[in-house]
């Protein structure tokens, strides 16, 4: 897969919009050291390339209502492609499952579930088991405190060194 080369200005643009998705064109241009038109053209290029996948608001859910955040490890009974496909198709349609990662190691998936309470989480698990989507085992980890939940990616640290 060919990756788009990002220069220092591109990285500044991406960093700025990660921190403030509502930043004005003028403020963005000033922050990255470009005039507005070239800055806006670069941002459009990054969007068209799929590097900027969207703009979102981060909701402080615990300010709105008490919620239970639960991490769930899932191991499937069988490991045929059809088994993975069936599980993933069902998981995508459940709004309380806000993230799902296919992982290597001793389990097949790690899910992040947000429910009204632990009883709501257990009802969700019961429904998943009743649907017979191939779950062999699952383990539940109730989040008691969020220590870090960063949405800003450290782009400069993650990209390969550019020569």
Euclidean distance between CA atoms 123 and 121, whole angstroms: 5
Output the 3-class SS for 32-66.
HCCCHHHHHHHHHHHHHCCCCCCCCCCCCHHHHCC
Q: What is the pLDDT of residues 10-21, one digit of tens each?
A: 999 999 999 999
Q: 78: which residues sit within 8 A by CB, 6+ positions away?
A: 134
Per the model's pLDDT, the better-predicted residue between 97 and 62 turns out to be 97
Task: Look at residues 36, 42, 33 and name the one whose alpha carbon lies nearest to residue 24.
Answer: 36
pLDDT at 163: 54
pLDDT at 1: 56
Burial 107-141 (b: 16+ CB within 10 A, else e): bbbbbebbbeeeeebeebbeebeeeebbbeeeeee
pLDDT at 158: 84
pLDDT bin (cut points 50, 70, 90) of residue 160 is: confident
Q: What is the pLDDT of residues 38-53, one digit of tens each?
A: 999 999 999 999 999 9
The single residue listed with the structure tokens 């008490």 is 66
pLDDT bin (cut points 50, 70, 90) of residue 140 is: very high
Helix (H, G, I), strand (E, B) or coil at 97: strand
Mean pLDDT of the chain: 93
Q: Please compute the mean of the pLDDT values over residues 130-147 and round it to a whole number.
A: 95
pLDDT bin (cut points 50, 70, 90) of residue 157 is: confident
Per the model's pLDDT, the better-predicted residue between 155 and 80 turns out to be 80
Q: What percent of the chain has pLDDT over 70?
A: 97
Q: What is the pLDDT of residues 35-93, one digit of tens each?
A: 999 999 999 999 999 999 999 888 888 888 889 999 999 999 999 999 999 999 999 99
Predicted TM-score (pTM) of this structure: 0.83
């Amino acid at each position: 897969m060919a990756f788009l080369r990002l220069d220092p200005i591109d990285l500044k643009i991406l960093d700025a919009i990660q921190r403030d998705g509502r930043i004005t064109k003028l403020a963005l241009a000033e922050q990255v050291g470009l005039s507005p038109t070239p800055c806006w053209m670069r941002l459009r290029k990054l969007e068209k390339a799929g590097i900027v996948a969207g703009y979102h608001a981060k909701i402080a859910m615990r300010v709105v209502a008490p919620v239970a955040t639960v991490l769930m490890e899932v191991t499937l009974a069988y490991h045929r492609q059809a088994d993975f496909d069936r599980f993933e198709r069902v998981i995508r349609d459940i709004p309380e499952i806000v993230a799902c990662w296919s992982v290597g190691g001793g389990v097949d998936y790690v899910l992040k579930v947000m429910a009204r309470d632990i009883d709501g989480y257990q009802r969700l698990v019961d429904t998943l088991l009743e649907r017979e989507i191939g779950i062999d085992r699952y383990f539940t980890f109730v989040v008691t405190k969020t220590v870090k939940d960063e949405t800003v990616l450290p782009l400069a640290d993650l990209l390969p060194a550019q020569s």
